[in-house]
Chains A and B, each alone.
Chain A
Amino acid sequence: MNIGDVLPPLEIPLTRSLIVATAIASRDYQDVHHDPALAQERGSPDIFMNILTTNGLVDRFVTSWAGPTAVVKRIRIRLGAPNHPGDTMTLTGSVSAIDDRRVTVDVVGTNQVGVHVSGLVEVEL
């Protein structure tokens, strides 16, 4: 493994089912994550993905590359363009630091509006 190694990109179709199922699986019952009418009332064009799910997908993206022995030590994300149903988010990443067993992966997730998430994940191999 070397700095600059690129992870296989992960395309995630943002179905309405995914956005709702992941919100409920994370016990996040805020209406903007499952009720389109109430989401619109609050000024959003549609429901959108919750933050716990963004963390979960970034986690999945990196650990599926790092393998089942990897232990996640840090997930730092900055949020941008919301993930709405019908869009696709593509996660890309590359190794930005290696310190003994600890590997840092820079991650960006983009949808058709722009950058949904950017940040880093540190795993211990």
Chain B
Amino acid sequence: MSAYDDRLAAFVGRPLVALRPAADPVNVPMIRHWVEAMGDTNPRYLGASPVAPASMMQAWTMRGFGAPVVAGGFDELVALLAEGGYTSVVATDSDFEFVREVVPGDHVSVEEVVEAISPEKATGLGAGRFVTTLKTYCDAAGSVVATQRWRTLRFQPVASSPVEPVETPRPRPAVNLDNAFWFEAAREHRLVVQRCLACKTLRHPPGPACPECQSFDWDTVEASGRGTLYSFVVAHHPRHPAFDYPLLIAVVELDEGTRLITNLTGVTADALSIGMPLEVEWLDADPELTLPVFRPVATLEH
């Protein structure tokens, strides 16, 4: 048994709620509210010598609206359970035994004592502990009128999923001043290639200087969107939730001569062959990200 279990066990037999009288004695107006709301037309409840519905026992001793929480064993136990991660609560069982009926004029009090706290159990709601208490209801003379064994499950809520599951977004490209133009064009579904203004050499990936002549001056040309499969790999693991697997990762050589790394779509790995003709298709991954992907060129059927 852990030290934590010992601390919980110390609550067994302890009053959680010290004997507390109901705000009001049993009375006809509250019985009337109850039977009206419950739709209960039993004539005993509002007749000449009325009795209170048995099931109403707990209602007499409820704290009422906005009642201040009184510090005591109950709050200490709740805090200790929260310390163990058992922050949620659901009532599972109520077992009332009635010694006698109560009638208008009876003044009911209630006391609640811990009977048992279970070891941790796996439940459908999450790991939790069942807390069993006994509420004893007494009349003004101190005689027991009813008992109520009460069981609640205090549990560690399973990490709640958001109301609308948010799909994991595709990893963001590292956009900077030197390559932003390329991703901005992609958002407009334009595949562009950087061109050196000095020597007219095309280059990709984007960079600040021409690898041929070191000029910093550049512009872009729009690519045809056609190319061939230069190389590819098929990724199986490790998996990232933003992608579908097996994931086809290709180096595509554009008709303009530059190559880019991209994904293939509309094709499976066994249908790929080096040199096969491909054409661009636009993947609008999310509102902030559009990327070119490539698919095999549709062959004309004759």
Question: Given that A25-B37, A56-B34, A77-B94 are contacting pairs, would A72 and B54 also be in contact in the complex, using a CB cutoff of 8 Å?
Answer: yes
Q: Is the CB of B95 within 8 A of A72?
A: no
The CA-CA distance from A52 to B59 in the complex, in Å, is: 7
Chain B 47-99 interface residues, beta-carbon cutoff 8 Å to A: 53-56, 58-59, 62-66, 88, 90-98
| B44 interface hit (Cβ, 8 Å) | yes
Q: Which residue of A lies closest to B39 (CB)?
A: A60
| B176 interface hit (Cβ, 8 Å) | no
Q: Is the CB of B96 within 8 A of A74?
A: yes
| A51 interface hit (Cβ, 8 Å) | yes
| A43 interface hit (Cβ, 8 Å) | yes
- Contact-size category for A: 20 to 34
The CA-CA distance from A72 to B99 in the complex, in Å, is: 9
Question: Given that A26-B59, A26-B62, A63-B42 are contacting pairs, would A55 and B96 also be in contact in the complex, using a CB cutoff of 8 Å?
Answer: yes
Give, as a whole number of angstroms, the nearest-CB distance from A85 to chain B. Answer: 15
Question: Given that A26-B59, A27-B59, A28-B62 are contacting pairs, would A76 and B157 also be in contact in the complex, using a CB cutoff of 8 Å?
Answer: no
Residues on B with beta carbons closer than 8 Å to the beta carbon of A87:
none
| A58 interface hit (Cβ, 8 Å) | yes
Q: Is the CB of A27 within 8 A of B92?
A: no
Residues on B with beta carbons closer than 8 Å to the beta carbon of A76:
93-96
The CA-CA distance from A14 to B59 in the complex, in Å, is: 21
Residues on A with beta carbons closer than 8 Å to the beta carbon of B54:
59, 71-72, 75
Q: Is the CB of B37 within 8 A of A43?
A: no
Chain B interfacial positions (CB closer than 8 Å to A): 30, 33-34, 36-44, 53-56, 58-59, 62-66, 88, 90-98, 101, 157, 160
Q: Is the CB of A64 within 8 A of B33?
A: no
Residues on B with beta carbons closer than 8 Å to the beta carbon of A73:
97-98
| Main SS class of interface, B | mixed
Q: Is the CB of B95 within 8 A of A27?
A: no
In the complex, which of the residues B33, B38, B41, B92 contacts A53, with contact meaning CB atoms closer than 8 Å? B38
Residues on B with beta carbons closer than 8 Å to the beta carbon of A27:
59, 62-65
Q: Which residue of B lies closest to A72 (CB)?
A: B54
Q: Is the CB of A72 within 8 A of B94?
A: no
Question: Given that A43-B160, A76-B96 are contacting pairs, would A56 and B55 also be in contact in the complex, using a CB cutoff of 8 Å?
Answer: yes
The CA-CA distance from A21 to B35 in the complex, in Å, is: 11
Q: Is the CB of A74 within 8 A of B97?
A: yes
Give, as a whole number of angstroms, the nearest-CB distance from A23 to chain B. Answer: 9
Q: Is the CB of A60 within 8 A of B59?
A: no
Residues on B with beta carbons closer than 8 Å to the beta carbon of A75:
54-55, 94-96
The CA-CA distance from A25 to B36 in the complex, in Å, is: 9
| A86 interface hit (Cβ, 8 Å) | no
Residues on B with beta carbons closer than 8 Å to the beta carbon of A25:
30, 33-34, 36-38, 59
Residues on A with beta carbons closer than 8 Å to the beta carbon of B97:
73-74
Residues on A with beta carbons closer than 8 Å to the beta carbon of B34:
25-26, 56
Most buried by B among A28, A52, A58: A52
| A18 interface hit (Cβ, 8 Å) | yes
Question: Given that A68-B42, A76-B94, A76-B96 are contacting pairs, would A58 and B37 also be in contact in the complex, using a CB cutoff of 8 Å?
Answer: no
The CA-CA distance from A51 to B91 in the complex, in Å, is: 8
Chain A 35-70 interface residues, beta-carbon cutoff 8 Å to B: 43, 51-53, 55-60, 63-64, 68
Would you list 23 pairs from A and B whose C-beta atoms are within 8 A, ordered by A residue?
A12-B39, A21-B37, A25-B34, A25-B36, A25-B37, A27-B65, A28-B62, A29-B66, A43-B160, A52-B55, A53-B38, A55-B96, A56-B56, A59-B54, A60-B38, A60-B42, A64-B42, A72-B55, A73-B97, A73-B98, A78-B92, A79-B92, A79-B94
